[in-house]
Structure 1
Amino acid sequence: MVVEGHQVIWGPWEFHLKPDPRAGVVIFQATVRDPNSGEARSVMYKGSLSELLVPYMDPSNAWYFKTYIDAGDFELGLWAMPLDRLNDCPRNAYYMDAVFAGSDGIPYMRPDVICVFERDAGDVAWRHTEVLSLSL
């Protein structure tokens, strides 16, 4: 796998990967190279999560009624937190920063919000952070 900036090349696949304040991680211009002709074939112009439903299912009084529509209600990208190196992603991961516009229009950077790596089956795929209190 080769990552240069936000361009990812992995085997016959090539795509541009970037964080978006509303959609979260977005893949652009994904192509796959034909093994016989070597020609790159477009398979996706733009792809992202359109929605994410999270039924938290905690029986406590503070949580039992909550069902978040996370992408639509909270904008996945704006809530992206920096990844914890070696806990969220393995040692060989490539990290990407996000640059977003603040409510005043001034850009700000959020470091390490995306990591790209080849995942070994059996690793932890995700962890949950309570965004308002920053607790796990």
Structure 2
Amino acid sequence: MTLELELPWPPSVNHYYRHVGPRVLISRDGRKFRERVVARFRQDHTRGFAGPVELFIELYPPDNRRRDVDNSLKCLLDTFTHAGLYNDDSQICKLTVIKREPMPPDGMAYIRISEWKNEDRTADDAGKSSRNS
């Protein structure tokens, strides 16, 4: 099974959390993003993945400001867990992230998630055995 999605631009990790006294909470922007994505999954009757998955993410920022690709991942991956796309981030066996050209005015995140087939394992195992020789 493979699922392809175009999602809104996620809040960065710098805007995902808020400190309220001694507690750390998900920010208003983080909650809005999460609610929007969860509602879409429910509307589309999206089924979750039970086993290992492979994620391919293309990030199209809203503008040309400097951004680190990893700052968008926390919100996306936590939202997928919350929405039931998979049970836990530990199911992700392969993660590919590419930052593309900006897509004004709002940006976008293209996501492709599929069952991880572990095709790379034979190539990795062959490489390990030749290094051990």
TM-score by length of structure 2 reads 0.30
TM-score by length of structure 1 reads 0.29
Which structure has more relative contact order (CA 8 Å, sep 6+)? It is: 2
Could you say which structure has the higher strand fraction? 1
